[in-house]
Structure 1
């Protein structure tokens, strides 16, 4: 005859084991289900970017339809949720490329997204691995067909198309600066690069100030000052809230045969007490400090660049580019010192010398280039400064004075 107490303990033990097993299965099942956690639609004059962010990599296939022009994207092993439905509400009437989005559960395991276009586009789809605060991403870029007029007015459209075809370097001039002495025989050509943009907001302050917004405002103020000079011409890598790959920013400067390249940013660290302005130039052999190295890594996450493209004889190219870039870095350091000395008059310096790091956006081998960290957006006092028109104008004037001093 069985012992009732023994049977009771046995039942409890079995129930506990079963509950534990069900819990582990549930956790595994939850962890392996694909979830869309964020959707972003960023329209701009150059192209529209759609980003789907997920906890796991997305499997997808695409095809196009005509009359009307549509791009269809099927995403596998995903179920329609409120986040995905939000995409239909993010499309703006002013979007020059995207007319509307339709989305639905095509079958039990597939969500179908239909992008109806306003104009013929070259869609580029690719995935990005998690970095910083981003999860896995599926990116859909809608580029307009490049026409002669658009290419003539702004080389960015053609460069973006070349970038996505994988032959950006082959379309660039072999020598960036134009012939003649800059400022005397021809205008000085300056390219301003407001950092980040679009779905890449850069750093943010405690009061929700976005780096991408304040650096664009500073760049516009600096552009206005340069435009007043009869012997200078100025261009910007972006003049709106749009993401431009780092490689394309450098390529645009080289396409325009720039004499100077100025990238504008706002610093951020976990220590909110850190403050001050900094100026960086490229380091061919790595960073001059741990902080500079970490900062370069952060900036480079937006779009990785594997160094300078080389062709022809490997050893000859290496020697020539090394000599050319060494001379360019020396000029960048001279330029950086002029800017830093003038910024020191309006704001505390984080470091009293021009630092060097492997910033991807400074890697044009033949254009003196600097990166200006205007202030620490992570510091409450300097975040307030960065939002003010007065400080933005002061920074613009300081960089402008550095430009004039460098050429004089």
Structure 2
């Protein structure tokens, strides 16, 4: 085997080979599907198998290759034809080779066109899709100029002395997240049987129209009745380089008495746990979080992450106050911004809020949510709050 000149090891101690165990299983795992999707931002390779997978991976240079060893697996035609699935114009992969490395291990070698940052992880079965091994290939960010990384962070957050608060060289991008969807209906009205997932989607679509009419770019986490797992939602906002993230919901509790809405931002406890996971994943690999280049110094990375998250939470609170003030014009709302560890709010570098528009468990609120007129009022309130925030925000340098 070619000499190892450099390894990209994510989440392991320096010099050690990363091993990700997705659970024990019997030998002879069978591969049932391969999917490859690519665009300029990244390439995703998904290998589907009938059982849980164990794997190791490492990088080679001269030329660049990513090697993935899948244990307790047998090579079959599905995996053997991986190269045939590769788009001819893929920006990162030149070829894919597969072989039975030994009686217990299948080796997949990605011949690369350029240096990449790989993210390799497993996904549990979802619907008709079985266990998956996912390989995401991202372009390696251009190295930061020499200097103090902490000073570079603050400089990146300061507008130029003669510039308005909002950078005007690009249109802000808003990511709307209608809660639930597909097999997850969310809360259900006790009298009308209206579903939270339908309410959230209706309000999000109305909000999108209003924001686009004002000149903003708007993307939807979902724009139809599909299921998207909660952990994937903030990741999609990060990948899109969104300037803010708004998740729309309707509340429900056991009692029929509580009514009204609330606007939530990520709690410090939720931020700390998200930061720990992200820093662990980037411990031994260069990467960028919130436009800040992370290097090999764990102490500096921790300081940088704390600064990114503090800034993001402060921005989230400002956004939440604007939206809360607007929402209060149309329904009873909690007087103050609320704090919670909601998973959808955990992108460390995207200001994010979660809006509970009203209680489906309360008869008065349920009647409101069943009214198109009220939903339009909520959409106008969200759009107006977002526009107020973007009118004073210092946008990240994308």
With normalisation by structure 2, the TM-score equals 0.56
2:119/2:135 contact within 8 Å kept: no
- In structure 2, the partner of 1:227 is 212
Cα 1:313/1:166, change in 2 over 3 Å: farther
1:178/1:257 contact within 8 Å kept: no
Cα 1:240/1:228, change in 2 over 3 Å: same
- In structure 1, the partner of 2:195 is 210
Are residues 1:193 and 2:162 paired?
A: no
Cα distance in 1, alignment partners of residues 243 and 344 from structure 2: 15
Cα 1:267/1:404, change in 2 over 3 Å: same
Instruction: Tell me the secondary structure at the aligned position of residue 319 of structure 1.
Output: helix
Cα distance in 2, alignment partners of residues 342 and 148 from structure 1: 50
Deviation at 1:126, TM superposition (A): 7.6
Instruction: Tell me the secondary structure at the aligned position of residue 300 of structure 2.
Output: helix
Are residues 1:346 and 2:335 paired?
A: no
Q: Name which one, 1 or 2, has greater alpha-carbon Rg.
A: 1
* More RCO (CA 8 Å, sep 6+): 2
Cα distance in 1, alignment partners of residues 385 and 331 from structure 2: 15
- In structure 2, the partner of 1:355 is 338
- In structure 1, the partner of 2:19 is none
1:172/1:251 contact within 8 Å kept: no
Are residues 1:309 and 2:278 paired?
A: yes
- In structure 1, the partner of 2:245 is 261
Deviation at 1:309, TM superposition (A): 1.1
2:270/2:342 contact within 8 Å kept: no
- In structure 1, the partner of 2:226 is 242
Deviation at 1:169, TM superposition (A): 9.9
2:31/2:49 contact within 8 Å kept: no
Deviation at 1:313, TM superposition (A): 3.0
Cα distance in 1, alignment partners of residues 178 and 237 from structure 2: 13
Cα distance in 1, alignment partners of residues 188 and 315 from structure 2: 32
- In structure 2, the partner of 1:388 is 371
- In structure 1, the partner of 2:316 is 332
Cα 1:320/1:256, change in 2 over 3 Å: same
1:2-401 matches, within 5 Å, as 63=30, 123=48, 164=123, 165=133, 184-206=168-190, 207-230=192-215, 232-285=216-269, 308-310=277-279, 311=282, 312-349=296-333, 351-401=334-384
Please say which of residues 182-191 and 395-404 is displaced more in the overlay: 182-191
Deviation at 1:149, TM superposition (A): 9.8
Cα distance in 1, alignment partners of residues 385 and 214 from structure 2: 14
1:219/1:396 contact within 8 Å kept: yes
Instruction: Tell me the secondary structure at the aligned position of residue 177 of structure 2.
Output: strand
With normalisation by structure 1, the TM-score equals 0.54
Instruction: Tell me the secondary structure at the aligned position of residue 280 of structure 1.
Output: strand
Cα distance in 1, alignment partners of residues 336 and 353 from structure 2: 13
Deviation at 1:208, TM superposition (A): 2.0
Cα distance in 2, alignment partners of residues 340 and 316 from structure 1: 36
2:120/2:135 contact within 8 Å kept: no
Instruction: Tell me the secondary structure at the aligned position of residue 367 of structure 1.
Output: coil
Cα 1:305/1:320, change in 2 over 3 Å: closer
Runs of 5+ consecutive residues of structure 1 not aligned to the other structure: 1-58, 71-120, 128-144, 152-158, 288-303
Deviation at 1:64, TM superposition (A): 6.1
Q: Structure 1 or 2: larger helix share? A: 1
1:267/1:378 contact within 8 Å kept: yes
Cα 1:315/1:399, change in 2 over 3 Å: same
Cα distance in 2, alignment partners of residues 220 and 397 from structure 1: 11
Post-superposition CA distance 1:297-343 (Å, at most 9, x none) = xxxxxxx9796411243322221111110111011001100000010
Instruction: Report the RMSD for the aligned CA atoms in angstroms.
Output: 4.0
Cα 1:273/1:397, change in 2 over 3 Å: same
Deviation at 1:237, TM superposition (A): 0.7
Cα distance in 2, alignment partners of residues 146 and 266 from structure 1: 42
Cα distance in 1, alignment partners of residues 250 and 256 from structure 2: 13
Cα distance in 2, alignment partners of residues 367 and 126 from structure 1: 35
